[in-house]
Structure 1
Amino acid sequence: MLDSALRTHLSALYPPDVAEVTLPRLMALAERYRRPREARPLAARDVWLIAYADHVGDGRRPPLQVMDELLSGRLADIVNGVHLLPFCPWTSDDGFAVVDHRAVDAAVGGWEDVTAIGRARRLMMDAVVNHMSASSSHVREWSGHVLSPPEDFDTSHVVRPRTSPLLTPFEAPDGSVRHAWTTFSPDQVDLDYGNPDVLVDMTDVLLGYLERGASIIRLDAVAFLWKESGTSCIHLEQTHEVIRLWRTMFDWCAPGSMLITETNVPHEENVSYFGDGSDEAHLVYQFALAPLVLASFMWGNTQDLTRWAASLDPPPGGTTFFNFLGSHDGIGLRPAEGRMSTTQVDGLCALARAAGGGVSYRSGPDGQQLPYELNTTVLDALAAVADDGATVQRILAAHAILLALQGVPGLWAGSLLGVRNWGEGVARTGRLRTVNRRRLLLDELTDDLDRDGSFASTVFHGMAELVALRASSEAFSPTSPQRVLAGPPWLFGVARGLEDDRHLVLVSVSDRDRAVRLADLGEEGRWRDRLAAPGTAPYGPEDTIVLPPWGVAWLAVTG
C-alpha cells in the first residue's frame, strides 16, 4: 500500500511525530496527481537530444516553439526524445539558479509550449532539486526552505565540486545577518530537506512536471541533497531515501515515468543510485565515458576505455545507463578517477587549452586544487588531437562508440549541429562553461546545415547515418546484451545482440591504417559492414578488416 511505503520512507528521514503529520500531505499529492499513462519500454530508437529551451531561436517566436519545430522536422529521424535544460525563471548559471520552480521563463515560452513538446516525444525535464536562486522568495523572506546550518555544524569533511565559499552571508528580513549553505555559488542557495515542508513542496513540483508533459525527470545535483554535521554531505543515506520516496510516488502517480540522477562522481558511487533496480533511479548517467573516450583518441590507445567498459556490471533489470559525450557542462574528470593516470589527466587538461578552452578546478580534501572538468566542446577537443584534416572522422568515430554501447545515448545539441568553442561568450560572461553554451539563430543554422561540405553539415549528416544504423536493429536496445571485445590497443570493439541479430562495432583510434581479423576478436560467422560501399563482400572470421585512420566498421551478422 502507498501509505505504508511512504510511512517507511518518512520514518527514515524524520522523527515519528513529524513523519506522521507529513504522510497525509504526500497522500493528498498522490491522489491529486495520479494519472494512468501508457508505459513504452526503451528501445534502440531511443536517442535523446540535450538542449536548452532557447538553444535555437528565430527572433519572432518563443524559442520553445522553434525547438518543437526543429524536433518535428529536421531532427525527427535522429532523436525521439529531448532533455530540456532548466527553463524556469533564473538569475545565473544559465538556468540552474531557479527563482520559481513552478514557472516557465517568459523569454522562452509558456507551459503550453512545454506540454506540446512532451506530447509528441519523450520529454526529460530538469528538476533543480538541490538549490534555488538567491533571488527566490524563499531566500528574500528567509523561509524554512533555506538551509542555514547552526554555528556548531562541522563542515570540515564536506565534499563538493567548487572552490567558492560554502556559506554565504545574507541579510534576513529582520536585519540580522544569516549564513546560507551554497554548494555551487553564492547565487545558488541550498534547500533544507531536513524541513519536511521542503520535501512536500519539491515533490509537488516534480509531480507537476509529469502532469505538464514530462515522462522523465532529471534530478540535478541530487547527490548533495541532505546534510549532516561531520560528514561529507554527499551520497548520504537520507539522500537515497528521498529518491526512494520520489520513485514510490512516480510509480504510483505516473507508471512508466522515469527518474534519472545527475551525480557527476566516480563510477562506483554513481551506480549506487540504481538502488536495487526497482527503488531508485531508472537511469544513471555514464559520466566516465567522455573522458575515457577522449583520452583514447588523444593517446591512440583504448586500453583504459576497454578495461572500464568490460568491467561494467549489467544494470539491474528495469534500469539502464544514459550515455553521452557532450552536454551543457564541461567534460568531467572526477568520474574517471582511478581509471586514468595523473599524466593522462594532465594531458587532457593541456588538450582542452590547446583547443581554445580551459579547465575548472575543485577543492580536494586538503584544500588542494584538483582538475574537475575540461571546458571545451567535445568537437574541438577531438580537433586538437591532431592537425591532420581528419577532425570529422574522429568526431564520428567517438560518437560511434557512444551509439554502440548499452544504454540510451544523449546527443548534445551543439555536437549534433557542429557548434565549435565560443570564446567570445567566455570573454563576455567570465565563465569557462560558457564556451559550450552558444545559442543559435535558426536561419544561420539552416544555411550552415544545408551548405554541402560545411563542417556542421558533414558532422550532422554523419551523425544521422550512425543513429540510423543504431535505430534499425534492436540489437542496440538498452536491454540487449553487450560484450566488450578484447583486441589490439588501437581498437575499441563491442558486440551487441543475440543469435541472428548480432552486430559488431569496431572503432580505430589510430592515425594510420590498421588491420584486424574477426577470429582474433573471438567472432565467428559472416559479417556485412553496413558503412561500406554497396557490393562490398561480407567478412568471414579469417578475413582481415582494414580500418582507415579513425575508421569505423559497423558489422551485422549475415550467417
Structure 2
Amino acid sequence: MEYIKHRLSAIYGDSDAQKIWTTLKEKLLKAKQTHYKDRKQRWDEKDLVLITYSDQFREEGKPTLATFEKVFDQYLADKFEIVHLLPFYPYSSDDGFSVIDYKKVNPIAGDWGDVASLSTKTRIMFDYVCNHISAKSEWFKEYIKGSPEYAHFFTEMDPDTDLSAVTRPRSTPVLTKFQMKDGTEKYIWTTFSEDQIDLNFKNPNVLLKMIEVLLFYIEHGAEYIRLDAVGFMWKEVGSTCIHLEKTHQIIKLFRDIVEEVAKGTVIITETNVPHKDNISYFGNGSDEAHMVYQFPLPPLVLYTINRGNGSALTSWARNLQPAGDETTFFNFLASHDGIGLNPIRGIIPEEEILALVSDLKEEGARVNYKNNPDGTQSPYEINVTYLDALNKREDDDQLRVKRFLSAHSILLTLQGVPAVYIQSILGSRNDHEGVVKTGMNRSINRQKYKLDDIVTELTKPSTLRSKVYRELTHIIQIRKAEALFHPDVPMEVLDKGERIFALKRGTGSGKNLTIIHNIANEQVELELSGQFVNVLTGEEMTFTDTITLDPYQFLWLKSSN
C-alpha cells in the first residue's frame, strides 16, 4: 500500500501525509479483511442504471425503501442492473444533497437493513457528497462551538479577498457569514448554498474523515460510488477553484483505495462542465474515474430533436474519442438536476442556446442562472421533465411518445453505460405544483408518488405513463440482450444528412449494427442497401437502394450476411 502513501504525499507533502498515514493504513488493512459483497468486474451490455430517490414511492406507515423495493420487483428489476439511489441520508435541504450525517439512513427511507435488502436484488450506486456538508451537521455545529477536533474543517476567508476568478455554479455568494459561539463572525466558503458548507480538504484530517465515509459505504454495499460536485473540492485563492490538480489527486486516491479494498467498485465523477474538462477525470485511463457523466448529451439530444437537425449531434459524436480499455462514459438524458447548458457552450452557438431556453420557457420550463465574472448572468440549467422538454403543450400523446422514444434510442445505442431517470421511465410531466410548494425550480422534475396512484396509472393502458413505460422498457430489454451494445464495442458515427442521426456498432468484421434515427417531424428518405434483421421487431429486411423513415422513426438493423 505504499503507493497510497505516495499519493497522500502528492497532495500534502511528506510531513503532513505522515500525520495521517499510520491511522489510514490501519483502516485500510482492516477494510481489506472485511468480507464484501462480490463485485462484478467492469461492465457489459446488460448494465443499465435507474436513477431514483429512496422516497420516490410512499405507503402509509412503511419505510419508503421497502415500498421502492416492491415497485422495483414488479416493474423494474428485469430492466435495470444498477440502481442509483440519490442521497438517502438525513438532510436539511436540496432534496438530500445537504447531508446531515453521512453514516445514517433518513428515517423516512428506513435503515441500513432496507438498503441491504435492496442490494440483494440489484447493484446500488451511493451518492458520496464529498464537497460539502449540511450546516445542521454535527461537524459544522462542533466547528461553530469552537471544538478543537473540527478546527480548520471548513474554509475561512477574509470577506475582502478577491474571489472574482472563482467559477460560480450558482448566483449565490461564494462566502457566507456565520456567528461562532464566542460571538465572533467568520466568513465560510459555500459553493452551492448557505446550508451546504464546503469541506476544507487542505486539512488532512478532513480527508481522513471522508475516507472513513468512503469505506463505510463500500462496507454497506455500494458497488458504484458517485462523487457529487467533485470538481470543486480544492480551493486556491486567485484560481478558478475548479478542476485543480489536487482535486484530481484526491480522486485518484479514492480510486487507489477502492481498487485496494474492493476491486470492482466503480468510481463515477459528476462534473457538469464542458467536455474537455469532463473527460480530464479519466486521468491516464487507469488511475482516476472509471466513468464520467456524458453531460453534453442531454442538451444536445434536446436541441437536435427540437430543431429537427442532427448536424451538431453528429459532429460532436463523431469527434468523441473512445473512453479506453478501463473506462467508459455514463450516458443519460435526464436526472434529478436540470438539463445543464454549460457542457454545450462551444458546441452550440450562444444565440442558439438562448433561443432554446426562450422556447422552453414559453412551454413552461424553468431556468436557473449563474453569475459571470463580468457581473452578467447566463442560463446554466433548464428545469423540466425530459418528456415535456421534447414537446409542446398542444402536442398529442402519440407524438410525445414518438419523440421521447427516439431520444432514448439515441441514449441506449451510444457507446457507454446508459442511465434512465425514474421520471422518464414513468412518463412524467412537469410538476408545477411542486415548484410552488418548495420554491425550487428543480422540483418540477422531482415529483414523489403514492404507491396506489402510480400503480393505477401504470396498469391502465390508455394513460401516457403506461404507454411510455411499456414502449421504453421494451427497447431497454432488447438492448440488454444484444452483445453489440457492450460499452467496449466500437462506435462509428455516420453522416446521413441533417435530419438523420445514425451510427454503427461493431468491430468491422462479422456482425454489426446500423442504427438510424429520423429526428425530424417529416418523412425522410436515405440511401441504404443490404440484408438486415430489425432487432426491435425480429423482422428480416432487405434494402436495395433507399429507405423511407416516418417522423421520429428509428431502426436497429443487424447485418445478416
The TM-score by the shorter chain falls in which range?
over 0.9
Q: Secondary structure at the match of 1:383?
A: coil
1:486 maps to 2:488: no
Say if 2:26 is the partner of 1:24: no
Is the 2:310–2:500 Cα contact (8 Å) retained in structure 1?
yes
1:435 matched to which residue of 2? 444
Cα contact 1:351–1:384 (8 A) shared by 2: no
Match of 2:355 in 1: 347
With 486-495 and 381-390 compared, the bigger mean Cα shift is at: 381-390
C-alpha separation in 2, matches of 1:529 and 1:344: 36
**TM-aligned CA deviation for residue 317 of structure 1:** 1.4
Cα pair 1:517 1:543 within 8 Å, conserved: yes
For the pair 1:459 / 2:468, whether they are aligned, the reply is yes
Structure 2 residue 427 is matched with structure 1 residue 418: yes
Which residue pairs with 1:530 in the alignment? 535
The question of whether the paired residues in 2 share the 8 Å contact of 1:425 and 1:434 is answered with yes
Range with bigger deviation, 106-115 or 324-333? 106-115
5 Å matches for 1:191-202? 191-202=199-210
In 1, are the aligned partners of 2:531 and 2:540 still within 8 Å (CA)?
A: no
Once residues 547 and 64 of structure 2 are traced to their aligned partners in structure 1, the CA distance between those partners, rounded to angstroms, is 47
**Which string of whole-angstrom CA distances, capped at 9 and with x for unpartnered residues, describes residues 35-70 of structure 1?**
463433311111110000001122232111112222
1: CA distance, partners of 2:413 / 2:74: 25
Shift of the 270–257 alpha-carbon distance from structure 1 to 2, 3 Å rule, reads same
Q: Which of 241, 257, 268 lines up with 2:265 in the alignment?
A: 257
- The alpha-carbon deviation at position 545 of structure 1 amounts to 2.2
Instruction: From 175, 180, 189, give the equivalent of 1:172.
Output: 180
Aligned match of 2:57: 56
Displacement of 1:537 in angstroms is 4.5
User: What amino acid is the match of 1:90?
Assistant: Y
Superposition pairs for residues 218-229 of structure 1, below 5 Å?
218-229=226-237
Deviates further, 7-16 or 320-329? 7-16
Q: Which residue of 1 aligns with 2:555?
A: 553
Paired amino acid for 1:531: L
Q: Which moves more between the two structures, 395-404 or 479-488? A: 479-488
In structure 1, C-alpha distance between the alignment counterparts of 2:438 and 2:375, rounded to whole Å? 27
Q: 2:270 and 2:167 mapped to 1: Cα distance?
A: 16
Q: Distance in 1 between matches of 2:415 and 2:116?
A: 30
Q: Give the deviation of 1:515 after TM superposition.
A: 1.5
Residue number in structure 1 paired with 2:222: 214
Letter matched to residue 346 of structure 1: L
User: Which residue of structure 1 aligns with residue 71 of structure 2?
Assistant: 70
The whole-number CA distance in structure 2 between the counterparts of 1:467 and 1:403 is 7
1:327 aligned to 306, 317, 335, which one? 335
Is the 1:141–1:172 Cα contact (8 Å) retained in structure 2? no
Structure 1 residues 63 and 284, CA gap change in structure 2 (3 angstroms): same
- Aligned partners of 2:77 and 2:121 also within 8 Å: no
The percentage of counterpart residues that share the same residue type is 41
**8 Å Cα contact 1:351/1:381 also seen in 2:** no
Could you list the per-position Cα deviations for residues 481-510 of structure 1 after superposition, in whole angstroms to 9, with x for gaps in the alignment? Answer: 111111110000111123343212211111
Contact 2:293 2:329 in 1 (8 A): yes
Question: Which 5+ residue runs of structure 1 have no aligned equivalent?
Answer: 520-524
Deviates more, 1:458-467 or 1:60-69: 60-69
Secondary structure of the residue aligned to 1:42 is: coil
Q: Which residue of 2 aligns with 1:445?
A: 454
Q: CA deviation at 1:395?
A: 0.2
The equivalent of 1:539 in structure 2 is 542
User: 1:127: Cα distance to partner?
Assistant: 0.7
Larger displacement relative to structure 2 (341-350 or 460-469) = 341-350
CA contact (8 A) 2:385 2:429 kept: yes
1:216-273 Cα shifts (integer Å, max 9, x gaps): 1000000000001111000000000000111110000101101000000000000000
The residue identity in structure 1 corresponding to 2:206 is: V
Q: Which residue of 2 aligns with 1:376?
A: 384
Tell whether 2:93 aligns with 1:92: yes
CA distance in structure 2 between the aligned counterparts of 1:152 and 1:317, rounded to whole angstroms: 48
Structure 2 residue aligned with 1:160: 168
Q: Secondary structure at the match of 1:6?
A: helix
For 2:503, give the aligned amino acid.
V
Structure 2 CA distance, aligned partners of 1:442 and 1:218? 28
CA–CA distance in structure 1, aligned partners of residues 165 and 242 of structure 2: 10
> Are 1:89 and 1:103, in contact at CA under 8 Å, matched by a contact in 2?
yes
Question: In the alignment, what sits opposite 2:8?
Answer: 10
SS of 1:74's partner is helix
Contact in 2 for aligned 1:33/1:208 (Cα 8 Å) = no
Aligned partner of 1:114 in structure 2 is 115
Change (3 A) 1:153 1:16: farther
1:385–1:351 distance in 2 versus 1, CA, 3 Å: farther
Q: Is the 8 A contact 2:127 2:227 kept in 1?
A: yes
Give, in whole Å, the separation in 1 of the partners of 2:253 and 2:540: 55
In structure 2, what is the equivalent of residue 522 of structure 1?
none
Given that residues 357 and 367 in structure 2 are in contact (C-alpha distance below 8 angstroms), is that contact kept between their aligned partners in structure 1? yes
SS of residue paired to 1:447: helix
Contact 2:201 2:234 in 1 (8 A): yes
CA contact (8 A) 2:158 2:187 kept: no
Q: CA deviation at 1:151?
A: 5.7
* Structure 1 residues 43 and 172: CA distance shift in structure 2, 3 A: same
Q: Which amino acid aligns with 2:375?
A: G
**Residue 289 in 1 paired to residue 294 in 2?**
no
Residue 411 (structure 2) pairs with residue 402 (structure 1): yes
Instruction: Give, in angstroms, the shift of residue 119 of structure 1.
Output: 2.7
Residues in 2 aligned to 1:502 and 1:57: alpha-carbon distance in whole angstroms: 44
Letter aligned with residue 27 of structure 1 = K
Give SS of 2:429's match.
coil
C-alpha displacement at 1:162, in angstroms?
0.5
Q: Tell me how far apart the structure 2 counterparts of residues 19 and 54 of structure 1 sit (CA, whole Å).
A: 40
Which amino acid in 1 is paired with 2:429? R
- Alpha-carbon distance between aligned partners in 1 of 2:334 and 2:363, rounded to the nearest angstrom: 15
Quote the offset at 1:354 in angstroms: 2.7
Take 1:319 and 1:184, find their aligned partners in 2: how far apart are those partners? 29
Q: Residues 260 and 485 of structure 1: is their aligned pair in 2 closer, same or farther, counting only changes over 3 Å?
A: same
Q: 1:157 to 1:76 in 2, by over 3 A?
A: same
Find the aligned partners of 1:476 and 1:282 in 2 and give their Cα distance: 18
Encode CA deviations 1:345-401: one digit per residue, 9 max, x unaligned.
112212321331211111122121011010101100112297365011000000000
* Structure 1 stretch displaced more, 476-485 or 496-505: 496-505
Could you tell me whether the CA contact under 8 Å between 1:297 and 1:385 is conserved in 2?
A: no
RMSD between aligned residues: 1.5
2:395 alignment counterpart? 387
Distance 2:364 2:39 in 1: 46
Alpha-carbon shift at residue 531 of structure 1 (Å): 3.3
3-state SS in 1 of match to 2:541: coil
Count of matched residue positions in the alignment of Structure 1 and Structure 2: 549
Unaligned runs of 5+ residues in structure 2 are 144-149
Task: Name the structure 2 match of 1:362.
Answer: 370
Alignment partners' CA distance in 1, 2:117 and 2:360? 38
> Which residue of 1 is the match for residue 147 of structure 2?
none
